Chains A and B, each alone.
Chain A
Amino acid sequence: MTPKQLVIYLMSGPETPALAEAAVEGGADLVELGFPFSDPLADGPVIRRAAEKALAQGMRTQACLDVLAAARERVSVPLVPMTYSSLLEAYGWERFGEDARAAGATTVIVADLPAGDRPELRRIQLVAPTSTDERIRLAAKQTDGWLYLVTVTGTTGSRSEVSSTLAGFAARARAAARDVPIYAGFGISTPEQARTVAELTDGIVVGSRAVEVAEEGPAALREYVGSLRRALDDG
């Protein structure tokens, strides 16, 4: 059986290449790199504040691409920028996709660009508990590698419990997505939640909690990611 995939989200910043390396050492299979936007509608307070801080540090699009390239030098796992339409509109939609790949990205995620829009931009598509089966099929058809299940109706950020509706949603997504792998994210922060969610999916994404731990430095992040890795492998 394929091991469950562990995706860790980090906000772009000067320390990010070292943090990405620590996350991979801890057992991350893929690292998402947040390219900060001033008005991130899909994000809760932790990632919103991290974006504000990153922007204050000058983390504009080109600087983020440089961080991506620097991270690429240090790790071999897939790296995936996650951002918002406004940055692509300003940078050029096609040019963004090309330059991100040139800097070492495997693909991209655009949090406010639903499936069906701009299909020419190859990216990982997101589906939500509110998505119809028809929309899940569309997203699975257009997605670039795996399908990102948003486990909750809500923004990014830790929740105390895994949504009770996730099992039904994951089953529905599995049926509609067929052989496209499904990874679940939003609201997952503890090893126990990671294990529970991974039983229903092919992988999990941890964002807000990883961003919080990353503020304590690479060693803390390596240890935290390791705890998630063990939960997935022992599960």
Chain B
Amino acid sequence: MSATYGTYGGRYVPETLIPALDELSSAWEAALADEAFRAELDHLSRTYAGRPTPLTLAERFAPSKRLYLKREDLLHTGAHKLNNALGQAVLAQRLGKQRIVAETGAGQHGVATATVCARFGFDCVVYMGSEDMRRQRPNVERMGLLGAEVRPVEFGTKTLKEATSEAIRDWITNVEDTHYLIGSCVGPAPYPEIVRELQAVIGRETREQILETEGRLPDSVLACVGGGSNAIGMFAGFLDDADVEIVGVEAAGAASLGSGRAGVLHGSRSSVLADEDGQIADAHSISAGLDYPGVGPEHAFLRDSGRARYVGTTDEEALEAFRRLTRTEGIIPALEPAHALARVEELDAELIVVCLSGRGDKDLAEVLAR
């Protein structure tokens, strides 16, 4: 089985998808080896998405530290999700697919997917739990404006877990003409690897920028972890720097790494919230983007190897950090990275980078209702 992370990863999917995953692996390897693919993606990243994103010193939020924010919230569509969506759109074009299917939790990946589908002229279907549609209304409206069909998922938890299952079922049914544009570093191989490489631009830029600004590497890098794509993209830039502490921050009620067990969900073996019989448990988080009982297999591997550590933040702590960043820096973060911001002060580290993975417009209704 290709692209496993220790004992994690793999392809636990119905046979119907195996040839499509083989085709995707070949196309991905060919794309990586192709200068033209790199050049097209680089051009789109600069002229369409708005890369590179800045590194902002947050002196008033964390006066006792030197805290930098990697500003993925300033990327087009307002979150890091576009890095992956753009790359996979170019890949889908190379595969000759006309239709894109995706899942979304907070709606940021759905919006990024709807955006690239508008830009590339693909048909677009996005599955979204009805509970998430309620709490992330603005993003549902944005997807509609962009021409995507948002299909509500009304069963089970009515959140990201079920939306992902339905997107995979759609892909199984329409695999001949459809590319599944998965939103995080989860799913069957080669998806975790593809998403990681497409998000690794976050870590590469951050490393260059911090060396240029501070003349040294950070003591710690932090990122929130739901499926874990912004985190793996940030971490990728620092995994080889043994002195840089790497910290992933989960929602306390959705701590797949902190309190999960080895299990199989959505096509890969990883650390999941499940009971002793392997039935997947419900996750609970104020943040729709972190409200997921699984996590990318590479995070499970990094946890076991000790290279990264994973901690939790409660809903209340995330809300406090959300409000404080807004008032001290004039930056409204998404609730997801607010989970990472909440852990900054207790670190021993002095020079810290947090991946500010998205902006908070989508969360205003949820926060104001509290």
Interface residues, chain A, with chain B CB atoms under 8 Å away: 37-39, 41-42, 44, 48-49, 52, 55, 60-62, 84-91, 111-117, 125-132, 135, 139, 150, 153-155
**Is B269 positioned at the interface, with any CB of A under 8 Å from its CB?**
yes
Using Cβ atoms and an 8 Å threshold, which residues of chain B touch A52?
155-156
Q: Is the CB of A90 within 8 A of B276?
A: yes
Known: A41-B267, A86-B278. 16 other contacts (CB 8 A): A38-B279, A39-B280, A41-B172, A44-B169, A61-B277, A61-B278, A86-B280, A87-B279, A89-B278, A112-B14, A114-B11, A114-B15, A117-B11, A130-B17, A135-B19, A153-B173
- Main DSSP-derived SS at the A contact region: loop
CB 8 Å contact bits of B194-224 with A (1 = contact, 0 = none): 0000000000000000000000000000000
Given contacts A85-B12, A117-B10, A130-B175, whether A37 and B278 have CB atoms under 8 Å apart is: yes
A41 and B168 alpha carbons, distance in the complex (Å): 7
Across the interface, B12 reaches (CB within 8 A) one of A112, A125, A150, namely A112
Residue B314 interfacial (CB < 8 Å)? no
Q: Which of B42-50, B110-118, B258-266, B331-339 contacts A (4 or more CB under 8 A)?
A: B258-266
Residues in B with CB closer than 8 Å to A84 are: 264
Contacts of B11 in A (CB 8 A): 114, 117
Which A residues lie within 8 Å of B264 (CB)? 84-86, 89, 112
A contact residues around B280 at 8 Å (CB): 38-39, 86
CA distance in complex: A115, B17 (Å): 12
Contact of B15 among A62, A88, A131 (CB under 8 A): A131
**Which of A44, A48, A135, A155 is in CB contact (< 8 Å) with B155?**
A48
Complex Cα–Cα for A41 and B16 (A): 11
- Residues of B at the A interface (CB closer than 8 Å) are 1, 10-20, 155-156, 161-162, 165, 168-169, 172-176, 261-267, 269, 274-280
> Using Cβ atoms and an 8 Å threshold, which residues of chain A touch B266?
39, 41
B195 CB, nearest partner CB in chain A, Å: 19
Q: 4 smallest A-B Cβ distances: which pairs?
A: A90-B278, A128-B16, A86-B278, A154-B173
Name the B residues within 8 Å of A49 (CB-CB): 155
State which of B12, B14, B161 has its C-beta within 8 Å of the C-beta of A126.
B14
A33 to chain B, nearest CB (A): 16
A86-B264, A117-B1 as given contacts; A91 in contact with B169, CB under 8 Å: no
Q: Which residues of B contact A117 (CB under 8 A)?
A: 1, 10-12
Chain A nearest CB, measured from B34 CB (Å):
25
> With A61-B277, A87-B277 as given contacts, are A131 and B19 in contact (CB-CB < 8 Å)?
yes
Selected from A39, A41, A60, A88, the residue in CB contact (under 8 A) with B14 is: A41
Residues of B within 8 A of A88 (CB): 278
With both beta carbons as reference points, the residue of chain B lying nearest to A148 in the complex is identified as B15
A42 and B172 within 8 A (CB): yes
Asked if B20 and A39 make an inter-chain contact with CB atoms under 8 angstroms apart, the answer reads: no
Expressed in whole angstroms, the Cα–Cα distance for A127 and B10 within the complex equals 19
- Cα–Cα, bound, A26→B366 (Å): 56
Contacts of B162 in A (CB 8 A): 39
CA–CA, A60 and B16, complex, Å: 27
- A112→B278 contact, CB < 8 A: no
CB-contact partner of B274 in A41, A86, A114, A155, under 8 A: A86
Tell me how far the C-beta of A225 lies from the nearest C-beta in chain B, rounded to whole angstroms: 26
**Inter-chain contacts of A126 with B (CB < 8 A):** 14-15
A41 — which chain B residues lie within 8 A by C-beta? 13-14, 165, 168-169, 172, 266-267
Q: Pick 23 A–B contacts, CB within 8 A, sort by A.
A: A38-B156, A39-B162, A41-B165, A41-B168, A41-B172, A42-B172, A52-B155, A61-B278, A84-B264, A85-B264, A85-B269, A86-B263, A90-B278, A112-B13, A112-B264, A112-B267, A114-B18, A117-B10, A125-B15, A130-B16, A130-B20, A131-B16, A139-B15
Contact yes or no, B18 A131, CB < 8 A:
yes
CB-CB under 8 A from B174, the residues of chain A are: 153
Bound-state Cα–Cα, A62 to B276, Å: 11
Instruction: Tell me the smallest distance from the CB of A34 to a CB of chain B, in Å.
Output: 14
Shortest distance between the CB of A96 and any CB in chain B (Å) = 10
